[in-house]
Amino acid sequence: MEIAVVILNWNGKALLEHFLPSVIANSHEADIYVVDNASTDDSLTFIKNHFPSVNIIRNKKNSGFAKGYNDALKQINADIFCLLNNDVEVSEGWLNPIISLFRSNSKTVVIQPKILNYHKKDYFEYAGAAGGFIDKYGYPYCRGRIFNTIEKDLGQYNDTSPIFWASGACFFIRSATFKSLGGFDESFFAHMEEIDLCWRIQNSGHDITYCSSSVVYHVGGATLNNLDPKKTFLNFRNSLYALVKNAEGTLICLIFPRLLLDGMAGLKFLLELKPKHTFAIIKAHFTFYVRLKQLMRQRRNSHTQIKYYKRPSIVIDYFIKRKKYYKSL
């Protein structure tokens, strides 16, 4: 089973200098690639001089996470792709449980390891934690992280378990599946494209699995942090994109509640004196409505839609019912 660990980079020389050695030291079972999205720093010179065993793929421009990976993975031959952020430290033996799980279950096409916080290694990390889910209206949450409440790792998720989506911070996928579904939706640019892909995978009848015996440590927000309104815009817009493309049910019954809930989020940002985030949500909705016709075509062409949610509204659970932890849901 051939594995390619593929790291997307954009002006991340400092991150590569810090994190790439752990990947090289602990990934003897894999070929390692750095995909460069037209960096203007000296990332590539640094890799060539210090890590000559690493394969380099150059993209002509920075087209974001989705297109950056789509273009690069067309040039890589492997059975399994591991898409790894450039701000992730991997642990010794991290690939072995993943390989075993892929070999033992042919229906599993995506796997996520346990993702812990690099700076507080006994806590889960925001982006993925112990595997992701979504509610009826497309809001994501994780075992180990709901909105901004992050759990300490006490072994409560030391299992191998089905999940709905796997984090793009460390995302293992069978190459045949990635190619058959056309890869990531490039209109997403960045953020939540992995949820959309996982949703399409679920609709096509395959499984996504969390594997706690493989552990990585993620910094998070190294390219675009949570305080950036652009990230708010991308998350809200792309969540709406994925919802229309993939969800079962009557569309108006999904979009109207989302309009109200997103409006509440915008008001919350306004009360917190973060008006740029409020305007980012408004912009996300206008951009979404402009593209709604095309999204509806994608919806009609999608595979059979499954029941995709366990909780009707994680927003109500968290903010009104005060259920802060996954085990309380």
**Does 188 score more than 70 pLDDT?**
yes
Q: What's the whole-number mean pLDDT along residues 222-248?
A: 88
Tens of pLDDT, residue by residue over 250-276, are 889 999 999 999 999 999 999 999 999
- Percent of the chain whose pLDDT exceeds 90: 93
Tens of pLDDT, residue by residue over 105-135, are 999 999 999 999 999 999 999 999 999 999 9
* Least trusted range by pLDDT, from 58-72, 171-185, 299-313: 299-313
Tens of pLDDT, residue by residue over 41-56, are 999 999 999 999 999 9
**Does 302 score more than 70 pLDDT?**
no
**Does 38 score more than 60 pLDDT?**
yes
**Does 301 score more than 90 pLDDT?**
no
Q: What's the whole-number mean pLDDT along residues 172-184?
A: 97
In this structure, the strands spanning 160-162 and 207-218 are: antiparallel
CA neighbor of 30 nearest in space, from 53, 14, 12 = 53
Domains of the chain, first to last:
3-218 (3.90.550.10), 229-305 (no CATH)
pLDDT at 225: 61
Average pLDDT taken over every residue of the chain: 95
CA neighbor of 245 nearest in space, from 179, 293, 279 = 293
**Does 100 score more than 60 pLDDT?**
yes
**Does 226 score more than 90 pLDDT?**
no
pLDDT at 249: 85
**Does 149 score more than 60 pLDDT?**
yes
pLDDT at 306: 81
Q: What's the whole-number mean pLDDT along residues 129-157?
A: 97
